[in-house]
Amino acid sequence: MSISKQEVVSRYLPEVLQPGTRAEAFAPSNIALCKYWGKRDVELNLPINSSLSISLGDLGSLTSITESEIGVDQVYLNDEALSADSRFAKKVLAFLELFRRELRQPVIVRTTNNIPTAAGLASSASGFAALTLAINDFYGLELSDNCLSAFARMGSGSASRSIYQGFVEWNKGSSVDGMDSCAQQLDYKWPGFRIGLLKVAIGEKKVDSRAGMQRTVESAALYGAWPQQAENDLVTIKRAIVDRDLQLLGQTAEHNALSMHATMIASWPPLLYWQPESVAAMHRVWELRESGVSIYLTMDAGPNLKLIYQQADESRIRDAFPELLDVDIVAPFD
C-alpha cells in the first residue's frame, strides 16, 4: 500500500508556515554512472535499485519563488510566462501545493535552465531539486539534507541526486514512506575527471523515462537481472572512484548503461532510444578506445551520448568528436 506524497510531506512541515518574500536556489544537472531504472512505488518515485551519479557543476536550474501581487500563481520557464494549464506549470504548482498547507498567498515561480539545449540533457532532475531547495527557503522549513533529497525525489527520482555536487549515491531505501530513499554526496574528488556531452540527434522522445521504466518493469523478462547487476555495478563504481581507476569506472558505467538499454529493447512495445547517429557515435568511441584512448560512454533515455574520460585525453577526444566543441565539457572537480 502506497502512502501519498501529501501525507509524507505533511509530517515534516511546521504547524505554521512563515513564508518569506523571496527565495532562490540553484541545483546541478546530473549524469548517472549507475542508472536508476524501475520503481517499486510509482506515487513516491521509490526505485527498485540504488544509483550513483556525477553532478554537472554549474550546469543546471536556477529557481526563484517570490510573493505575487496578482491574485494567482504564475510560472515562468526561461523568462517566458507559461499558461496555467501547460504541463510544466501544472507539475511545478502541484509540487508546490504539497508544501503550502492552508496558505493561499499567490507566488511567482521562475526557473531558468542553463543546461545547453544542444546537450540533450533532461532538466527535471535539476529543476525539481532547485524547486525543493527554493521551497525550503521560502517557507522557512529548515529541512535536513536527507529530507530535501527525499522530497526532491518525489518530484522526479533523479532529482534526489541533484541536491548535491560531485559524486552522489542514491540509496534505494526500504521504508514504506520512502524517507530512507535519499541521496548522499560521496566524499571523493577526482581532478581531471571529465564528462563530454555529445549531442548526436535531436527531436522529442516519444516515450519519457517515467513511462519507459514502467513499461520495462511490466513487460521485459530481461529486467529480472537488472536490480542485482545495478547493485553490483554501484559497488564497483564506488571502488573505482576511491582508486581513481578510470578504466574500471568507465567499463562498469558503460556496461551498466547498455544493460539498462537491453532491458528497454526487451520491453513490449520495444523501447529503442537510439538513432542511427547514436550507434555510429558508439562505434567511434569503441574505435578510439581500441586505438588506446581511455574513453567510455553512457546513455540515458534518449539518443545522445555522454563521454567519460580524463583531461589528459581531451585533445585526442576533441579531434575525434569535433561536435564536442559545440557543447559542454564538464570538469566537476577542477
- In angstroms, give the least distance from the CB of 324 to ligand 2P0: 21
Q: Is 323 exposed, middle or buried (0-12, 13-18, 19+ CB in 10 A)?
A: middle
Stretch that binds ligand 2P0, among 103-111, 138-146, 153-161, 191-199 (CB under 6 A): 153-161
* 291: CB partners within 8 A, 6+ apart: none
Restricted to residues 185-244, the positions that interact with ligand 2P0 (CB under 6 A) are 209-210
Stretch that binds ligand 2P0, among 29-37, 196-204, 225-233, 304-312 (CB under 6 A): 29-37
* 271: CB partners within 8 A, 6+ apart: 207, 212, 215, 216, 264, 265
Contact 309, 194 (CB under 8 A): yes
Determine if 61 is a binding residue for ligand 2P0 (CB under 6 A): no
- In angstroms, give the least distance from the CB of 167 to ligand 2P0: 14
Q: Which residue is nearest to ligand 2P0 (CB)?
A: 157
Q: Which of 26, 29, 27, 332 is nearest to 188 (CA)?
A: 332
Nearer residue to ligand 2P0 within complex by CB, 128 or 139: 128
Backbone angles phi and psi of 53, in degrees to 5: -135, 170
Q: For residue 187, give the 3-state DSSP assignment.
A: coil
Torsion-angle region of residue 78: left (phi > 0), alpha (psi -120 to 50) or beta?
left
Determine if 156 is a binding residue for ligand 2P0 (CB under 6 A): yes
Binding mask 91-130 for ligand 2P0 (x = CB under 6 A): -------------------------------x-xx-----
Determine if 256 is a binding residue for ligand 2P0 (CB under 6 A): no
Per CB under 6 A, residues contacting ligand 2P0 are 32, 35-37, 45, 51, 122, 124-125, 156-158, 209-210, 300-301
